[in-house]
A and B are shown apart, each in its own frame.
Chain A
Amino acid sequence: MQIFPRALNKLPVYAALANVVVLVAVIGIPWYYFSPKNLQVGYEPHQPVPYSHRLHAGQMGMDCRYCHAQIERSAHAMIPPTQTCMGCHAVVKTDSAMLAPVRESWETGNPVQWIKVTKLPEHVYFNHSVHLAVGVGCVTCHGRIDQMDVVRLDKPIAMQWCLECHRNPEPNLRPKEQITNMTWTSDQAPPGWKPPEVHPPTNCSGCHR
Chain B
Amino acid sequence: MSKRQPYPQEPARPGDKPVWITLGEKRSAKAPDASAELVTPIKSSDVIPTSRLSRRGFLGLGAASAAIASEGCIRRQVEHIYPYAKAPEYVIPGVPNHYATILTRHDEYVGALVESHEGHPTKIEGNQDHPTSLGSADAMMQAATMDLYDADRSATVREKNGKGSDWAAFDKAFDAILKTLAADGGGKLRVLMRPSNSPTIIRLREAAVDKFPHARFHFYAPVSQGNVYAGGKIAFGTPVMPRYNYAFAKTIVSLDADFLGTEQGALHATKGFARGRRIERPSDPMSRLWVVEPTLTVTGANADERFRLAAGDVDAFARALAGELASRGVDIGPVKDAIGDAKAPEGTDAFVKALADDLVANKGKSAVVAGRRQPPHVHALVHALNTALENVGRTASYAPVSDLVPFDLGADLKALADDIDGGKVDVLLVLGGNPVYDAPGDIKLGEKFDKVPTSIHLSSHFDETSEHCTWHLPMTHELEQWGDGRAYDGTWSIQQPLIAPLHGGRSAIEILARLGEEPAKAYDLVRTTFRERAMTPAHFEAAWKTALRLGLDSGSNSIQFEAHATLPDVAAALQKAPLPKPIGPQNLEIAIAPDNKLHDGMSANNPWLLELPDPLTKIVWDNAALFSPATAKALDIEDNDVVSLSRDGAQTIEVAAFVMPGQADNSIGLVLGWGRQNSGRYGNGRGFDVSPLRTVKDMDIMSGAKLAKSGRTYKLVQTQEHGRMEGRPLALDTTVEEFKSNPHFVLFPSDEKEIAETGPVKRELERPGSPTPKTGPLWDRIKYEAHKWGMTIDLSTCTGCNACVVACIAENNIAFVGKEQVYRGREMHWLRIDRYFVGEEENNPDIAFQPVACVQCEDAPCENVCPVNATTHSEEGLNDMAYNRCIGTRYCANNCPYKVRRFNFLEWRSPEGARQPVLDTYQDIPETEKMAFNPDVTVRMRGVMEKCTYCVQRIEEAKIAARREQRGMGPNEIKTACQQTCPADAIVFGDLNEPRSEVSRLARSERGYALLAVLGTHPRTTHLGKIRNPSPALHKAKEPK
Chain A interface (Cβ within 8 Å of chain B)?
39-46, 70, 72-84, 105-106, 108-116, 119-123, 125, 127, 129-130, 133-134, 152-153, 199, 201-206, 208-209
Contacts and interface: CB of A to CB of B under 8 A. Distances in A.
Contact of B936 (A42, A44, A83, A125): A125
A81 B118 CA distance: 14
Given A82-B83, A114-B83, A209-B936, A123 B93 contact: no
Interface in B938-974: 938, 949, 952-953, 955-956, 960, 963-964, 966
A108 to B, nearest CB: 8
Contact of B883 (A43, A82, A105, A208): A208
A28 B385 CA distance: 85
A77 B74 CA distance: 23
Contacts of B884: 121, 123, 208
Contacts of A46: 71-72
B963 A105 contact: no
Contacts of B48: 76
B963 A205 contact: no
Nearest to A112: B83
A110 B44 CA distance: 8
Contact of B47 (A76, A109, A134, A202): A76
A111 B44 contact: yes
A82 B43 CA distance: 13
B95 A115 contact: no
A40 B76 contact: yes
A111 B45 contact: yes
Contacts of A79: 47, 81, 83
A82 B86 contact: yes
A73 B92 contact: yes
Contacts of B875: 201-203
Given A204-B874, A209-B937, A109 B883 contact: no
B84 A111 contact: yes
Nearest to A110: B85
Contacts, number: 177
A123 B949 contact: no
A40 B74 contact: yes
Contacts of B94: 74-76, 78
A81 B94 CA distance: 15
B556 interface: no
Interface residues of B, number: 59
A78 to B, nearest CB: 4
Contacts of B49: 116, 119-120, 122
Nearest to B938: A123
Contacts of A76: 47-48, 93-94
Given A74-B93, A76-B48, A78-B47, A111 B83 contact: yes
Residue of A77, A122, A125, A208 contacting most chain B CB atoms (<10 Å): A122
B936 A204 contact: no
B740 interface: no
Given A81-B86, A134-B963, A43 B73 contact: yes
Interface in B449-504: none
Given A122-B51, A125-B956, A209-B937, A204 B885 contact: yes
17 contacts: A39-B75, A42-B72, A44-B74, A45-B70, A76-B94, A81-B87, A111-B85, A116-B80, A121-B884, A133-B963, A133-B966, A201-B874, A201-B956, A203-B873, A205-B881, A205-B956, A209-B938
Nearest to B876: A203
Given A205-B952, A208-B884, A105 B85 contact: yes
Contacts of A108: 85
B637 interface: no
Contacts of A205: 874, 878, 880-882, 949, 952, 955-956
A43 B309 CA distance: 74
A199 to B, nearest CB: 7
Contacts of A77: 47
Nearest to A134: B963
A140 to B, nearest CB: 17
A122 B964 contact: no
A78 B94 CA distance: 9
A114 B71 CA distance: 13
Contact of B960 (A41, A105, A121, A130): A130
Nearest to B75: A39
A109 to B, nearest CB: 5
B12 interface: yes
Nearest to B95: A74
A-B pairs, top 5 by smallest CB distance, nearest first, are A203-B874, A204-B880, A81-B84, A74-B94, A111-B82
B394 interface: no
Contacts of A39: 74-76
Contacts of B95: 70, 73-75
A33 to B, nearest CB: 12
A121 B2 CA distance: 9
Contacts of A123: 1, 3, 883-884, 938
A29 to B, nearest CB: 15
B884 to A, nearest CB: 4
B402 to A, nearest CB: 45
A106 to B, nearest CB: 7
Nearest to A133: B964
A206 B871 CA distance: 13
A152 B84 CA distance: 23
A199 B84 contact: no
Contacts of B93: 70, 74, 76, 78
A76 B6 CA distance: 13
Contacts of B3: 122-123
Nearest to A209: B953
B938 A116 contact: no
B964 A72 contact: yes
B874 to A, nearest CB: 4
Residue of A39, A78, A152 contacting most chain B CB atoms (<10 Å): A78
A109 B86 contact: yes
Nearest to A119: B49
A129 B433 CA distance: 47
Given A42-B73, A70-B95, A125-B953, 4 more contacts: A76-B94, A115-B78, A119-B49, A201-B956
A38 B27 CA distance: 44
B786 interface: yes
A112 B12 CA distance: 11
A121 B78 CA distance: 14
A203 B70 contact: no
A116 to B, nearest CB: 4
A74 B92 contact: yes
Contacts of A70: 92-93, 95
Contacts of A133: 960, 963-964, 966
A75 B53 CA distance: 23
Contacts of B876: 203
Contacts of A114: 80-83
A153 B74 CA distance: 10
Contact of B76 (A43, A127, A199, A206): A43
Contacts of B872: 203-204
A24 B94 CA distance: 45
Contact of A129 (B71, B960, B966): B960
A75 B963 CA distance: 13
Nearest to B78: A115
Nearest to A82: B85
A133 to B, nearest CB: 5
A113 B12 contact: yes
Contacts of A208: 880, 882-885, 938
A79 B49 CA distance: 11
Nearest to B885: A204
Contacts of A44: 71-74
Contacts of B878: 203, 205
A83 B86 contact: yes
Residue of A76, A119, A209 contacting most chain B CB atoms (<10 Å): A209
B925 to A, nearest CB: 18
B743 to A, nearest CB: 37
A83 B1 contact: no
